[in-house]
Structure 1
């Protein structure tokens, strides 16, 4: 007995380390996305709280919603155009 681990256990350890690293990366990505979401929502909330009346809060919220939907439509349109360019030529345009 040499005290060296069997090849199978080395492969299992390497695979386990890889899985752990992947989980840590996914968790870090989740935390970044969550922090960004909280930051944005806190900023919107602060802006809404600055409004002088309940009516003004609702108008401001509708404006935020309209702006967000317009932004989402533009991003979706751009992504669709990128997809069409890629699909037509079999690669990036």
Structure 2
């Protein structure tokens, strides 16, 4: 495999370097997605903790679930109408 330097001259690179770069990109994306998930779940937990009673917690959770499912339906519909 070759890559270009700033001057545009081809420079040979080892296949292992490319594989390592790909692996690092996949790991970085995994970490970003995991961090986003943790952030969202921690935010939801904080909101649920603010509720005054167990009944209010369950009601609030059902509302979040309904909102999430409605959002998922909108996104899925949009992807069907406008595939990439």
Q: Which has the higher helix share?
A: 1
- d(CA) in 1 for partners of 2:79 and 2:39? 25
Aligned length: 73
- Which 4+ runs in 1 deviate beyond 6 A? none
RMSD: 1.3
C-alpha displacement of 1:35: 0.1
Give the structure 1 partner of residue 55 of structure 2: 55
Equivalent in the alignment of 2:72: 72
Unaligned residue ranges in structure 1 (runs of 5+): 1-10, 87-93
Which has a greater percent of strand? 2
Give TM-score scaled by structure 1 length: 0.75
**SS, match of residue 51 in structure 2:** coil
Question: Structure 2 regions of 5+ residues with no counterpart?
Answer: 1-11
The TM-score, its normalising length taken from structure 2, stands at 0.83
